[in-house]
Amino acid sequence: MIKLTNIRKAYNQGQHNEFWALNGIDLDIEANKVTALSGPSGSGKSTLLSIVGCMARPTSGRVQLAGRDISGLPERFLTDIRRSTFGFIFQQYNLIKGLSARDNVMLPAYPLGGDWRALHERADMLLDTFKLGHRCHAPVEWLSGGEQQRVAIARALINDPLVVIADEPTANLDTVLSREFLSILESLKQQGKTILLSSHDSLVVESSVVDRVVRLRDGHLPEAAE
Amino acid sequence: MKTWIGKQQALIDFTLSSLSRRKLKNFGLLLVYALIVFLLASVMLFTHALRREAALVLKNTPEVIVQRMVAGRHDLIPPGYIEKLGRIRGVQHIEGRLWGYFYDPVVRANYTFMAPTAGTINEIQIADSEIVIGAAVARERGLEHGNLISFRSYTGKLFVFTVASVLPHDAELVSADLVLLNPADYRAFFGIPADHYTDIALSVANPQEVRNIAAKLSETLPDARLILREEVLRTYESIFNWREGIVLVLLSGSILAFAIFAWEKASGLSAEEKREIGILKAIGWETGDVLKMKFWEGALVSLTAFLLGYVAAYWHVFHFSTALFEPVLKGWSVLYPRFELVPVVDGFQVATLFFFTVFPYTVATIVPIWRAAITDPDAVMRG
Amino acid sequence: MHAWSASQGSSALHMPSRKSHRVFAFLAICLALFLLTFADAAMRRGGSADVLATSERLVAQLGLTDLCLFTEARYTRHPSQADLHSAFQDHPLGLEHFPSGSLLPPPNNLAASYENLDRKTTSPD
């Protein structure tokens, strides 16, 4: 599904605070599987996620999506691919305050300009799936942490992406809510989504939902031969 | 095309939801904005209509007025003067005029006393001891047809007049303060001897010769001051120009204050807004989408303000007789005509107003977004 | 699935309240009013020919030279005829001396005490 070849990523390149977040990553991410990136903070998990999700470009190396090299595409095409292929769940949820849960869920679909009525129904359906139907008009800051994350998940799914990317999804959740998240993950897998997440939460890494754990340290894959 | 419209509408939906989060602040901004447009548009519509009305009404004013100056001041036209004028070729019609001012201490108002040449108004002779008065005079003194009124003349003698009629309300703009009486009464009231006149009105056979004839007149009569019709019209043009200017200067303070406020509001990107733009980029919005969304915000706010302000200004000027500006125009006048301006709207002026109200605000909304909108989408993940 | 169908009902109920629709409707009304001002202006211009004609006739008959807008002083009443020593002078671009006169009324106590003595008569009626 996604093939990374010798990915390197530098921040502040050429300046005195130059920092290499990734140092030659080779990785294959299989379709319809849950892949977890694990490692201490600062190991480059988030950077790798943003490169896979077409949010950032690698300094060198190649990213192939379904056999097509996408690392050299201009921003417009990358945005296009990102919109149609990836759904993102962020650690801080990154919901827009003041807007209702439903408005937040619909956001990623706005630039696509599809039928609004259909979009509206899809958003309601997703919110119902995550037991938030009754709160769809509430501003997101009124929701609890778990509810906010479910809104974020619904938002990631609104454009029906092939791949869902989640950055430390359980970092702000207690055990009960984390388990609930894992069951949501399970159902997404059953729907045929490819899932890539980063976590250093043992509850997630050791869960049976996760098919493969990739350990990352200092921008390397120490056990590349896994 | 359909997708494009759907997309713009979705972006507008977002920008509206976004605006409605700070309802009071944004509504206040819209209101102040509309008020500024209203004031500007009122000044513009009013002066334009008045300027045009002056030009239309005064096109029948005498072609040349001859005043006589003595030591740099107006003086009466002495006997024999008119005869001298008659000898100049091209002068068609000469008329000695009698008019002057009278201060009425009762209402502290200035009237314009005038004696129509033949003593007639609308072909009706004004009899001795009768006057025809302007509508504002009638209003101020509570007079109507048949009433008696007395004025103490500058000689100290009391004159009693009967109001024969009141001039029509429709003509108030030119006649509100007039008191018309016959020439004999006029001379008696002001103590002006026979054959003396206030000034002389001339008409000219060939309108294109007016300037040449005026030049000849001033050669023949070195003590004469000539006022041409075109100068009268130009005077009005400039009076309204500078009165409009004065109002605009006074307004400029508030306009500037608003400009600063609007600039601050539109361009001051809070950390919160920056974060939101980062989120939008991260969930798949392009730089262009963010800019379009902000464009719609600026365009909707300023367009609404323009339409509301303009429509209100139109009603104010043409249906409520520019009630708010009346004090500015009235100055210290006691007599003020009640008039309804004929609505004339200059499309070019409206377009200019539109451009200068809608365009800067929209630009001020978009430009600062630019820098925030080109941030990398992964900034959110890093932050 | 049960919840899903319930949501359909509720979403259909909320469908008409799309924000952009409401704002478009409002803008359409504003725009209509805006266009209406032009129609109104055209209509009133048509009906005002008589009104203007009355003034024009009077101007022609009496040889009037000025609008009766500023009656506060003799030099402001006929700006186009004002003499060389008056505020307007004989230059059409000459400005009125006190533009503040446009905005503030003369103080009442001053108006009374500075009035010309010959005008301080008792009511002549």
pLDDT digits (tens, 9 = 90+) for A36-63: 999 888 888 889 999 998 888 899 999 9
pLDDT at B129 (0 to 100) = 92
Picking from B228, B253, B280, the residue at the C-terminal end of a domain is: B228
From the list B324, B321, B336, the residue with the least C-alpha distance to B107 is B336
Please report which confidence band the pLDDT of residue C106 belongs to, taking 50, 70 and 90 as the band edges.
Answer: low
The whole-number pLDDT of residue B1 equals 78
State the smallest CA–CA distance between residue A95 and chain B in angstroms: 8
Residue B15: predicted pLDDT = 93
Q: pLDDT band for position C8 (50/70/90)?
A: very low
Helix B287-318 crosses helix C19-47 at what angle (to 10 degrees)?
Answer: 30
Residues B80 and B182 in one domain: yes
Q: What pLDDT is attached to residue B205? A: 85
Q: What percent of chain A has pLDDT over 90?
A: 56
- Compute and round to an integer the Cα radius of gyration of chain C: 31
SS3 A204: helix
Residue B73 sits in the same domain as residue B214:
yes
**Chain A residues inside the 8 Å CB shell of B381:** 46, 49-50, 55, 90, 167
Domain that includes residue B242, residue range = 10-58+235-382
For chain B, the straight-line distance linking the first and the last C-alpha, in angstroms and rounded, comes to: 37
Residue type, B145: H
**Within an 8 Å CB–CB cutoff, is residue C115 touching chain B?**
yes
* DSSP codes joined into one string, chain C: -HHHHHHHHHHHHHTT--HHHHHHHHHHHHHHHHHHHHHHHHHHHHHTHHHHHHHHHHHHHHT--S-TT--SSHHHHSTTT--TTSTT-SSTTPPPS-GGGGTSPPPHHHHHHTS-GGG-PPP--
Indicate whether B356 and B372 sit together in one domain: yes
* Cβ within 8 Å, pair C68-B72: no
Q: Please give the Cα distance from A184 to A200 (Å, whole number).
A: 19
Distance between start and end Cα atoms, chain A: 18
Both tokens assigned to B21: 């989060």
**Which of A128, A131, A135, A137 is the best residue to mutate to test the C interface, defined by the most C CB atoms within 10 Å of its own CB?**
A128
Determine, for residues B345 and C41 on separate chains, whether the beta-carbon distance falls below 8 Å.
yes
Neighbours of chain C (3+ CB pairs under 8 A): A, B
Distance from CA of C48 to the nearest CA of A (A): 51
Answer whether C26 sits within 8 Å of B304, measured CB to CB: yes
| Residue B5 domain-assigned (yes or no) | no
**Nearest-CA residue of chain B relative to A51?**
B378
**A46–B382 C-beta distance less than 8 A:** yes
Token reading at B315: 């009603």
Is the minimum CB–CB distance between B21 and chain A shorter than 8 Å? yes
Average pLDDT, integer, range A31-40: 91
Place of tokens 């209406």: C36
Q: Residue B103: is its pLDDT beyond 70? A: yes
| Per-residue confidence (pLDDT) for residue B312, from 0 to 100 | 97
With CB atoms and an 8 Å threshold, state whether A127 touches C4: no
Whether B276 has its CB under 8 Å from any CB of chain A: the answer is yes
- Between A61-75, A148-162, B153-167, the lowest mean confidence (pLDDT) is in A61-75
**DSSP at A2:** E
> How many inter-chain contacts (A to C, CB under 8 Å) are there?
23
At residue B253, what is the residue type?
G
The string of DSSP letters for A100-165 reads BHHHHHHGGGGGGT--HHHHHHHHHHHHHHTT-GGGTTSBGGGS-HHHHHHHHHHHHHTT--SEEE
Indicate the length of chain C as a whole number.
125
- Does residue C10 sit at the A interface (CB-CB below 8 Å)? yes
Q: Quick check: is B246 in a domain?
A: yes
Task: List strands edge to edge, sheet with A60-65.
Answer: A19-29, A2-11, A60-65, A68-69
Residue B3 within any structural domain of the chain: no
pLDDT at position C12 over 60: no
pLDDT at position C2: 39
Give the pLDDT confidence score for residue B383 in this predicted structure. 56
**Is C58 within 8 Å of chain B by CB?**
yes
pLDDT at C16: 47
Partners of B165 in beta bridges:
B132
In this prediction, residue B161 carries a pLDDT of 95
Asked if the Cβ–Cβ distance from B304 to C64 is below 8 Å, we say no
Verify that B223 and B246 share a domain, yes or no. Answer: no
Interface test with A, best of C1, C5, C8, C11 (most A CBs within 10 A): C11
Give the highest mean pLDDT range of A190-194, B81-85, B203-207, B337-341.
A190-194
3-state SS, one letter per residue, for chain B: CHHHHHHHHHHHHHHHHHHHHHHHHHHHHHHHHHHHHHHHHHHHHHHHHHHHHHHHHHHHCCCEEEEEEECCEEECECCCHHHHHHCCCCEEEEEEEEEEEEEECCCCEEEEEEECCCCEECCEECCCCEEEECHHHHHHHCCCCCCEEEEECCCCCEEEEEEEEECCHHHHHHHCCEEECCHHHHHHHHCCCCCCECEEEEEECCHHHHHHHHHHHHHHCCCEEEEEHHHHHHHHHHHHHHHHHHHHHHHHHHHHHHHHHHHHHHHCCCHHHHHHHHHHHHCCCCHHHHHHHHHHHHHHHHHHHHHHHHHHHHHHHHCCCCHHHHHHHHCCCCCCCCCCCCCCCCHHHHHHHHHHHHHHHHHHHHHHHHHHHCCCCCHHHHC
Q: Both B83 and B39 in a single domain?
A: no
Both B158 and B123 in one domain: the answer is: yes
* Contact between A96 and B289 using a beta-carbon 8 Å cutoff: no
Closest Cα in chain A to C11: A121
Within a domain: B254: yes
Asked if B182 and B248 sit in the same domain, the reply is no
- Residue B324 exposed, middle or buried by CB count within 10 Å (0-12, 13-18, 19+): middle
Answer yes or no: are the C-beta atoms of B343 and A11 closer than 8 Å. no
Closest residue in C to B152 (Cα–Cα): C124
In this structure, is residue B204 part of a structural domain?
yes
Other beta carbons less than 10 A from residue B127's beta carbon: 13
Q: How large is the average pLDDT for residues A138-146?
A: 92
CATH number at residue B185: 2.40.40.20
- Shortest alpha-carbon distance between residue A97 and chain B (Å): 9
Whether the predicted pLDDT of C3 surpasses 50: no
Q: Tell me: do B171 and B89 sit in the same domain.
A: yes
For residue A86 the two structure tokens come to 């990836």
Res. B371: pLDDT tops 90: no
Q: How many residues does chain A have?
A: 226
Q: Is residue B346 part of a domain?
A: yes
B255-282: per-residue pLDDT in tens?
888 888 777 776 677 888 888 988 998 8
Name the β-bridge partners of B224: B68
CB-based contact, A119 to chain C, within 8 Å: no
- Last residue within a domain, chosen from B203, B228, B253: B228
| Partners of residue A133 in chain C, C-beta under 8 Å | 3, 6-7, 10
Co-location of B80 and B219 in the same domain:
yes
Averaged confidence pLDDT in chain B: 88
Percent of chain B at pLDDT > 90 equals: 39
- Type and span of the H or E element at A16: none
pTM for this entry: 0.84
Is residue C95 predicted with pLDDT exceeding 50? Answer: no
Q: Identify the pLDDT of residue C40.
A: 93
The answer to the question of residue B1 being in a domain is no
pLDDT for C28 equals 96
Out of C45, C63, C68, whose CB is closest to B201? C63
Of C31, C70, C80, the CB nearest to B231: C80
Task: Please tell me the total count of domains within chain B.
Answer: 2
Locate tokens 């009122």: which residue? B42
Given an 8 Å threshold on Cβ–Cβ distance, is C7 in contact with A116?
no
CA distance C7 to chain A (A): 7
**Residue C91 confidence (pLDDT):** 41
Amino acid identity for residue A160 in this structure: D
Has residue A224 got a pLDDT over 80? no
- Average pLDDT on B7-19 reads 92
Band of the pLDDT at C111, cuts 50, 70, 90?
A: low
Q: Name every chain A residue with its beta carbon within 8 A of the beta carbon of C16.
A: none
The pLDDT assigned to C15 comes to 52
B4 domain-assigned? no
* Closest residue in chain A to residue C15, using alpha carbons only: A117
Distance CA B72, CA C119 (A): 26
- Distance CA(A25)–CA(A9), nearest Å, equals 10
A10-19 long-range CB contacts below 8 Å, 24 or more apart? Answer: A10/A59, A13/A59
Question: Lowest-pLDDT range, A154-168, B149-163, C47-61?
Answer: C47-61
Task: Compute the average pLDDT of residues B324-340.
Answer: 79
Do B194 and B295 sit in the same domain of this protein? Answer: no
Q: What is the interface pTM, i.e. ipTM, of the complex?
A: 0.90
Identify the weakest region by mean pLDDT among B24-38, B189-203, B247-261: B247-261
Q: Which residue among B205, B228, B251 closes a domain?
A: B228
Q: Which two tokens stand for residue B264?
A: 């601050």
Does B374 touch chain A if contact means CB atoms closer than 8 Å? no
Considering the domain architecture, whether residues B161 and B250 belong to the same structural domain is answered as no
Residue pair B24/B293 in contact by the 8 Å Cβ criterion? no
| Dihedral sign, Cα of residue A175, residue A179, residue A180, residue A182 | positive
Comparing C-alpha atoms, which of B247, B258, B382, B234 is closest to residue B324? B247
- Does one domain contain both B357 and B215? no
